[in-house]
Amino acid sequence: MSSSFVAGPNGRYPARLWRFAVAVSILFALAGCATFDLEPQKDAPAAPKPTIPAGAPPTTGVEKPPSKEHIRLVTMMGGEYRVPGAERYLNGVLAKLAAASDKPGEAYKVTILNSPAVNAFALPSGNLYITRGLLALANDTSEVAGVMSHEIGHVTARHAAQRAEIEKTNKLIQDVSSNLQPADRARQLKEGSKGTLLSFSREQELEADRIGVMTIGRAGYDPYGASRFLSALERSTALRASLFGQSNSDAGDLLSTHPTTKDRIARAINAARQIGAPGIGDAGREAWLAVVDGMDFGDDPSEGAIRGRRFSHARLKFDFTAPDGFALENVERALLGLAAGGAEALRLDSVRVPADKSLEAYLDSGWVEGLQKTTIRAVTINNLPAAVATARFNDWSFRVGVVRFGADVYRIIYAARALADEIDRKFLDSINSFRRLPPDEASGLRPLRLSIVTAGGNDSLESLSARMAVADRPREHFLLLNGLEKTASLKSGERYKIVVE
């Protein structure tokens, strides 16, 4: 798999703030570094393989079955998001980009992923993957073309193969150095080879950016679209950081496989200037707005949806509300939250516990580091059996709650630098909010969606921002989604993206 426009599925994601990760890592450590899931995995029988009936006529032009890599990536990223019109449009753009690329004979195909994250990546086979979160952030066709041509750049430059070769060389260096060199010298050689690989990856990203700008220019798109999208990405990261009470720390470091976004923006603008002045090429804004009109936005309720402090899971049929001040993030296998600039954190996940094992015994079974056994007590939460306790670990205090819900036990863990009575009370209130979601409420949960509206003569930033179905900072989200600065004013007759129920 090539390196991605933002970061690969297992790579560095700019919105993952370092202090946020530290706070959450404490919650993992408290739980003994185990892995858990909001829906524990069950062994499922293998699906029967399709068979071709005897005597069936031969067929031609049949699409190749998906590769194992494709299936694994799609599964990791929330599945496919099926919008035939958007797929046709994106594949049409891809065809133009392929014809204008350094290897015009290559074939590419796009898959839209059902993820609110802003991400894109490619396989050497020519399969490109773009999340619907990225599509929502883009403001015109040239911006999306910039992302896709960046991925084409990785493929045509054979970056995946080059990275594999250098990784193979690094492993050889490390093996030889471990066996033949004194310990200090071996460590230096290992660190040196790792630095070479990381530097090489940054160079690959910058090369893919340059190739991408040149490609969209040759294809007739606005070459400045690439830098505009990078600017939107930087603003998205900054807004995400501020929601978690952090500063935007996308400054680049020795362990980052991506250059800083500011550096990429500057280089992309310089590359576009080599083609011409701003205003050249087709931006394709109106066509793009038609593509994203009605597209789902944010979390998929079937995988758990966040609405402000409330988290509702339509498929698992439970509901939970975090304490005041918490910003939430629905990640694979857990719900995470952060408040007070990292001084408070939460984690909600689930495990399987034998029905004949009491929740008090489960709390005392060793998975909670630093558990204060005298604090364990059985409670009932919204007619569900539960138990609560406190713990102390690595200068953090914890309030832990476990709730038996069907065959699963849901674990709600809060961490605080100082577990004062007022903080503990709000944590307990939040634990007590866990409830079974009635069938009518579960079936009534719908994803938010993008809607394209035309500004009237009386509309303003305030009036359109007020229509945003976004709990936190609707004005800032409106500006971000439409590529507008804080001082911008709306244009009557211009079309804009808003988020609606």
Residues 392 and 460 grouped into a single domain? no
If one compares 167 and 241, the residue with the highest pLDDT of the two is 241
Residues 318 and 369 grouped into a single domain? yes
Q: What is the mean pLDDT of residues 149-162?
A: 71
pLDDT of residue 419: 87
Identify the domain boundary among 244, 267, 294: 294
If one compares 204 and 35, the residue with the highest pLDDT of the two is 204
The pLDDT tens digits for 211-270 are 999 999 999 999 999 999 999 999 998 888 888 776 655 444 333 455 688 899 999 999
Q: What is the mean pLDDT of residues 87-104?
A: 92
Instruction: For residue 311, list its beta bridge partners.
Output: 306, 320
The pLDDT tens digits for 427-477 are 999 999 999 999 999 999 999 999 999 999 999 999 999 999 998 899 999
The pLDDT tens digits for 316-357 are 999 999 999 999 988 878 999 999 888 899 999 999 999 999
Identify the domain boundary among 428, 443, 458: 443
* In a domain? residue 134: yes
Residue 336 is inside which H or E element, if any?
Answer: strand 334-339
User: Using an 8 Å Cβ cutoff, are 13 and 20 in contact?
Assistant: no
* In a domain? residue 22: no
For 461-464, which contacts have Cβ atoms below 8 Å and span 24 or more sequence positions? Answer: 461/488, 461/489, 461/490, 464/490, 464/496, 464/498
Going by pLDDT thresholds of 50, 70 and 90, the confidence category of residue 202 is confident
pLDDT of residue 431: 96
If one compares 431 and 126, the residue with the highest pLDDT of the two is 431
Share of the chain above pLDDT 90, in %: 55
Residues 288 and 331 grouped into a single domain? no
Q: Which domain holds residue 188?
A: 67-294
User: Using an 8 Å Cβ cutoff, are 226 and 150 in contact?
Assistant: yes
pLDDT of residue 287: 97
- For residue 473, give the CATH number of its domain: 3.10.350
Residues 421 and 401 grouped into a single domain? yes
pLDDT of residue 291: 96
SS3 400: strand
Q: What is the mean pLDDT of residues 152-181?
A: 51
Q: What is the mean pLDDT of residues 57-79?
A: 64
Going by pLDDT thresholds of 50, 70 and 90, the confidence category of residue 64 is low
Of the listed ranges 258-262, 276-280, 322-326, 493-497, the one predicted with least confidence: 258-262
